[in-house]
Amino acid sequence: MRGRDYRASLRDRRVVHLNGRRVDDLTADPTYAPAVERIEQTYDETFRSGPDATNSLLVAPRSREDLQAQLPLIGSVDVLLLLTYQTLMTLVVAAQRLPESAAHNADRILDFVDDAQRRDVRAALCITDAKGHRRLPPSRQPDPDAYLRVVHRTSTGIVIRGAKLHVSGASLAHELLVMPTKTMKPGEEDWSVACAVPVATPGVTVIDRAYFDPSRPREDQPVSHRESVPSGFVVFDDVEVPHDRVFLDGLTAQAAVFAHSLGLWARLISLANMVRQADLLVGLAELIAEANGIQDIPHVREKIDEMLIHATLLRAGQVAAVAEAQPTRDGYYVPNDLYANATKYLGASRLSVMFRNLHDIAGGLAITVPSTADLASAATGGYLAKYLQAAEGASASERMALFHAIRDATADVYGGWQMVESLQGAGGLYAQRVVTRHHYDMDRAKADARESAGLPPGPQDG
């Protein structure tokens, strides 16, 4: 697919709503335009002709070196390609982990992955259910649709109903990958469903939220224009899915396979984004300190040092997650979940401090800086050019660009999205704790502790 093909592909029957209105043509809407443009660009950049041409990011890694080589890509491609990567990797690993008895499902999965690679389509992940009463299981909810479920089974496929939340890029993708949000128990067969649904299928409605303000100039929101994609609240209102696109239906014991496989990649990607973001925040802090002429003041240096130490710790965790990657049954390599999790926890819990340090260094103009439109205006541009010049060499327009980038990335709607996404993406802090504990070698720690206390080995230390 070339960029122009992608653009054309969006003009289908998809139903997308935003801020109370139906969006008829995404490619013509100012809220979607920047994302469409960026995705188009990536298509053009990664286009290779030939029958076997496949985007190299979309091939599952066969060694630690392969995985290592994907890291820089993870940190630079557009969000939708990243989501597609996450989707396909998850599916490949899930297929590996399904038992022999579900070999049929595994085959369908791998066929779908092959087909998606060949068609070079983009996919979004539909995981989080509406959940209704949080403390009740799916089968005991007043509204059985609180978790997406199979409402009918026909000779040609299944019919599903429910809503999936926080679906990044739903409106801009071709395929929606539906998966269970959690482990399922016997009796929850109808909720144990995984399948692929084209966005433009009848019954699918995407209700979007976007993370920048299209009425303000792009220069006032340089980061969100380039990086953000809308999040969709995706409703499946009795949507038919043919058999060859159903990857799980009723096998409660296998529901967790999808969630676990997803977790591995979700955390790696989340971590890669955190590493990139942390370096970006360090860079912005250093640049604005220089533009303000305060880069040598000790307490400013100390704050930047704290930031770069944090960025380095995140990168160390990423290095460890890849250096200790584990092979699957068939020799694919998956990131080490212990290191990925613990590091993701660190990143999520400390992002707020990164923001605070950056704001402390940047000063109040990070929020009060006038619009770049005021700089362009004949009535006010001269004043801003005169009074926003600071350290030698930093022009007012350069400084304004930095303040806008800082506000956009950390103190405006996209910055808010980052804060919440870093916490909630790939599971909240509590989830990271649980997973890290699960992987941590507590037996060894206890054995060491017993020895240090002069106690004999415990019963389970055998």
Residues of this chain, 354-383, that bind a second copy according to CB under 8 A? 355-356, 359-360, 362-371, 373-374, 376-377, 379-380, 383
Task: Tokens 């409605």: give the residue.
Answer: 205
Could you tell me how many helices (H) and strands (E) the chain has, helices first? 16, 12
Pick the closer one to a second copy by CB: 22 or 329. 22
Among 70, 171, 192, 231, interactor with a second copy by CB under 8 A: 231
Contact (Cβ atoms closer than 8 angstroms) between residue 293 and residue 54: no
Nearest approach in angstroms of CB 423 to a second copy is: 5
Q: Does residue 343 touch a second copy according to CB under 8 A? A: yes
Residues 82-141 that bind a second copy (CB under 8 A): 128, 130-135
Q: What is the DSSP string of 379-422?
A: TTHHHHHHHS--STT--HHHHHHHHHHHHHHHSSHHHHHHHHHH
Among 58, 125, 158, 235, interactor with a second copy by CB under 8 A: 235
Nearest approach in angstroms of CB 96 to a second copy is: 25
Residues 168-227 that bind a second copy (CB under 8 A): 205, 207-209, 211, 213, 215-217, 219, 222-223, 226
Residues 258-277 that bind a second copy (CB under 8 A): 276
Q: Does residue 337 touch a second copy according to CB under 8 A? A: no
Backbone dihedral angles phi then psi of residue 103, each to the nearest 5 degrees? -60, -35
Nearest approach in angstroms of CB 187 to a second copy is: 21
Among 74, 272, 401, 426, interactor with a second copy by CB under 8 A: 401
Give the E-state strand segments of 251-385 in sequence order.
326-327, 333-334
Contact (Cβ atoms closer than 8 angstroms) between residue 79 and residue 168: yes
Among 50, 386, 460, 462, interactor with a second copy by CB under 8 A: 386
d(CA 305, CA 448): 35
Among 96, 272, 404, 426, interactor with a second copy by CB under 8 A: 404
Q: Name the DSSP class of 369.
A: P
Length of the chain: 462
Q: Does residue 74 touch a second copy according to CB under 8 A? A: no
d(CA 206, CA 66): 35
Query: 199-217: string of b/e by CB count within 10 Å (b at 16+)?
Result: bebeebbbbbebbbeeebe
d(CA 223, CA 213): 12
Among 33, 110, 256, 423, interactor with a second copy by CB under 8 A: 423
Nearest approach in angstroms of CB 8 to a second copy is: 25
Nearest approach in angstroms of CB 331 to a second copy is: 21
Among 305, 330, 331, 457, interactor with a second copy by CB under 8 A: 305
Q: How many residues bind a second copy (CB under 8 A)?
A: 149
